[in-house]
Amino acid sequence: MPESPIEILPLFPLNVVLFPQSQLHLHIFENRYKTLIGECVSYDTVFGINFVSEQDVQKIGCTATVKEVVKRYDDGTMDIVVEGRRRYHLHNFVKAPHPYFCGSVSWVEDVSEEVDDELRMKAVQLHNQFVSVVFAGIVEQVRVDDIRKTRAFHLVQKAGMELQQRQTMLAMTSENTRLQFLIRHLESLIPLLSSKKSVEVFAKNDGYIRE
């Protein structure tokens, strides 16, 4: 399989994990990132988000597009909503005539495989069971016939995963492997939902917003 071509991408390292087709609220206050987001809005371009854990920048990231500028402040600070698009592998940071980080990246693609319908339906069932308790009345349950929303990257947005677990899942290149990972995670969490305190912790931990 030929290697993906290397491209240069503006980067915004953060303590978050962004998935393709998911949305996140971001508060932009550093000058270099005000510049970056301003350029992305003006020219309709994307930037990359890499999860930073204890100063270690993870190599697998996800491109983001600015879906909405929610609020602009007098000092240039912004509240925005971004949407994840495409995964990439960060090879290294590069020097560029910009105040923000840039890196050389290649695109990450899934392996070619048939998605196991039993795994998909099991993941949807557990996801619906989880959100019906933790996000009751806020997050809608997923229909098994909704192909886009039954994908692992959509289901994981409301699954109570820790950041490192999310990063592990982001790096997987098999949908079946992601579904298996999600199923094992939800099967371990659901028995804990009898505790009101656990429910509150799971709800607070999940920072993704509803579409």
Assign residue 61 the CATH number of its domain.
2.30.130.40
Residue at 184 is within a domain: yes
Higher pLDDT, 201 or 172: 172
25 with 63: CB under 8 angstroms?
A: no
| Per-residue pLDDT band at 71 (split at 50, 70, 90) | very high
Same domain assignment for residues 72 and 151 = no
Q: Could you give the number of structural domains in the chain?
A: 2
Residue 172 has pLDDT above 50, yes or no: yes
Instruction: Among 107, 136, 164, give the residue marking a domain's end.
Output: 107
**Backbone phi, psi, residue 101, to 5°:** -70, 150
Residue 134 has pLDDT above 60, yes or no: yes
17 with 172: CB under 8 angstroms?
A: no
Q: Quote the pLDDT of residue 211.
A: 46
Residue at 186 is within a domain: yes
Q: Quote the pLDDT of residue 16.
A: 94
Candidate from 27-36, 99-108, 121-130, 199-208 with smallest mean pLDDT: 199-208
Residue at 1 is within a domain: no
Q: Quote the pLDDT of residue 1.
A: 41
Residue 205 has pLDDT above 70, yes or no: no
Same domain assignment for residues 99 and 121 = no
Residue at 137 is within a domain: yes
Residue 196 has pLDDT above 80, yes or no: no
Same domain assignment for residues 12 and 59 = yes
Q: Which domain holds residue 183?
A: 117-205
Residue 106: closest CA among 15, 5, 183, 207: 5
Same domain assignment for residues 62 and 148 = no
Same domain assignment for residues 94 and 152 = no
Same domain assignment for residues 130 and 102 = no
Q: Quote the pLDDT of residue 5.
A: 66
Mean pLDDT value across residues 48-54 = 94
Residues 6+ apart with CB under 8 A from 108: 60, 87, 88, 89, 171, 173
Mean pLDDT value across residues 139-161 = 91
Question: In one letter, which amino acid is 188?
Answer: S
The pTM of the full predicted model, rounded to 2 decimals, is: 0.90
> Residue for token digits 């409301």?
158
| Per-residue pLDDT band at 4 (split at 50, 70, 90) | low
Mean pLDDT value across residues 84-95 = 96
Same domain assignment for residues 103 and 124 = no
Please provide the average confidence, as pLDDT, over all residues in the chain: 91
Residue 142 has pLDDT above 90, yes or no: yes
Same domain assignment for residues 136 and 76 = no
Residue at 2 is within a domain: no
